[in-house]
A and B are shown apart, each in its own frame.
Chain A
Amino acid sequence: MNKDTQKGLWIGLTILIVLTPLGLLATGTAFGEWSSQELQKTLGYVPEGMKSEKTLWQAIFSGYSMPGLGNSFLHSSIGYILSAVIGICLIYAATLILGKFIAKREEEQRNENS
């Protein structure tokens, strides 16, 4: 990967981060990702499995929002952008660490090739 491509990809990623609030304009819920309240409304009950498994884990940035931020579009957008930044940092770091463990070091490769 040359320097220009790397720069280009980072710029692309940054533009995507800034634009993420566009994803908030879609107000519906994806098929099969309904909340308990939505299910209560459409089915008239919440399936048992969903009640019990819901309490398993509470994500800190649940729904890509920041704790303490309001519900207005502006606040949601800020939360969404911050989520994108935090998520990307976490993912980038996690992949680099994983890569350190699993990728083949160039030196090893050279040794094998020589």
Chain B
Amino acid sequence: MHIPDGYLGPITWITLWLVMIPIWIIAARKLKKELRTRNVPLLAMGAAFSFVIMMFNVPVLGGSTGHAVGGTLIAIILGPWAALIAVSVALIIQALFFGDGGITAIGANCFNMGFVLPFIGYYIYRLITVNADITSSRRWKGAGIASYIAINVAAVLVGIEFGIQTILYPAVNGKFQYFMYPLSVSVPTMAIEHLLLFGFVEAIVTLLVVRYLQQTDPSLLRLSDRKIVQDKIPAGLSV
């Protein structure tokens, strides 16, 4: 799902940079209010986890590969704005140092995997787990379902961004300038790969970790319930 340089024309990648810049600024402001310094190592670990999980390429029909992202998981624990920052950091390091995802496409990749994915995943999870006890099975099931849907939405979005290139930059003398397959190919391909396989990989990773946390440290699953920081705690109690 890491769009490389040269696949999106400037209209698309510049637009998505312009969309992402204010979103990053809003995220920084939100976290200034909501993120506690003692949760920063957890955020860093979330970013590291997302990075390493994306290295597990899974083969799928037709010689293609894909991987999980972990964005919904981070959002479940730390909230969607924190997940946005964590996944963005991972994606930027991947682009700069490992050539995974393009430099011009950082805006697009952060939009798909860093913004849309964790936000969709987070809100579906919240919807499913309304009034669910922290140790309820609804939590891990909800985490699985939410992360499955979220990665599929992100995948379809990537398919759309790819496919519209053939409309924005039609072929000249039979040669395309950027991405070369139409929406009717790119969207179904991205969707089917994720519906059949990568969505399940993402769901299993997410629900296993949520289940593990339910058993070992359920308080972590309460962090985002309280929006990471309780606004009205007495001074003496905020340890």
Residues in A neighbouring B175, C-beta threshold 8 A: 45, 47-48
Shortest CB-to-CB span from B217 to chain A, Å, is: 4
B55 touches A64 (CB 8 A): yes
Instruction: Give Cα distance in the complex from A93 to B180, angstroms.
Output: 38
B75 at the interface (CB under 8 A from A): no
Residues in B neighbouring A22, C-beta threshold 8 A: 56
Residues in B neighbouring A29, C-beta threshold 8 A: 63-65
Which residues 23-69 of A sit at the B interface, judged by CB distance below 8 A? 23-33, 43, 45, 47-54, 56-64
A5 touches B217 (CB 8 A): yes
Instruction: Give Cα distance in the complex from A92 to B46, angstroms.
Output: 9
Interface of A is mostly: helix
Shortest CB-to-CB span from A96 to chain B, Å, is: 5
Residues in A neighbouring B176, C-beta threshold 8 A: 47
Work out how many contacts link A and B, with CB atoms closer than 8 A: 229
**Known: A1-B217, A104-B33. Is A99-B99 also a contact (CB below 8 A)?**
no
**Known: A63-B99, A94-B89. Is A48-B48 also a contact (CB below 8 A)?**
no
Contacts A49-B6, A92-B48 aside, 12 further interface pairs with beta carbons under 8 A come to A4-B217, A20-B52, A30-B1, A47-B6, A57-B95, A58-B99, A91-B48, A94-B93, A95-B89, A102-B35, A103-B31, A113-B232
User: 3 closest A-B pairs (Cβ-Cβ)?
Assistant: A50-B6, A99-B40, A59-B99
